[in-house]
Amino acid sequence: MRRLKAPADDDTPATAGDAQERVALRTEFAFELPHGYADASGTVHRSGVMRLATARDELVPLRDDRVRENPAYLSVVLLGRVVTRLGTIEDIHAGIVENLFACDLAFLQDFYRRINAEGHTKASVTCPSCQETFAVELAGSRLGES
């Protein structure tokens, strides 16, 4: 006969590490495009939100006929899945992404890599004058904003 231990009472104090794990998971990241997307009415949309990609987000575009015909289109379809808002536009799709300026597309590709591979949008830089190293936010805020 096998004996089973009764579960321990759940009154053990949570450690600081447990609390940090619950708070630390950040899944959405705000950004500011260098130029912005101009919609059909001429409104320019610069600020947006990108969420972390799932495995499904990276696999589904591989079945897309546009990607099969042109593998470079993969990033357009992928970004259309993970960008959740751009200005007042909440229905982001590949058609919007393919009409971004090239510098905005490059910005989003780099932003995607940073949040999904590195988990943050900060970069370490060194001041050329004093050689002090510090972190800067690369989410694309405009000059003078934090």
3-state SS, one letter per residue, for 14-54: CCHHHHHHHHHCCCEEEEEEEEEEECCCCCEEEEEEEECCC
The pLDDT, as a whole number, for residue 82 is 98
Give the pLDDT confidence score for residue 34 in this predicted structure. Answer: 97
C-alpha dihedral over 70, 75, 78, 81, to 10 degrees?
Answer: -110
The span from the CA of 64 to the CA of 62, in Å, is: 6
Predicted confidence band of residue 145 (pLDDT cuts 50, 70, 90): very low
Closest C-alpha among 49, 79, 85 to residue 61: 79
Determine contact, residues 114/84, Cβ cutoff 8 Å: no
pTM, to two decimals: 0.67
pLDDT of 144 reads: 40
Segment 1-17 mean pLDDT:
54
Q: Comparing 6-10, 65-69, 128-132, which segment has the lowest mean pLDDT?
A: 6-10
Give domain limits for the chain. 26-120
pLDDT given for residue 67 in this prediction: 96
At 27-66, the pLDDT tens digits run 999 999 999 999 999 999 999 999 999 999 999 999 999 9
Range 8-20 average pLDDT: 56
CB 124 within 8 A of CB 133: yes
Minimum mean pLDDT among 22-31, 39-48, 97-106, 107-116: which range?
A: 22-31
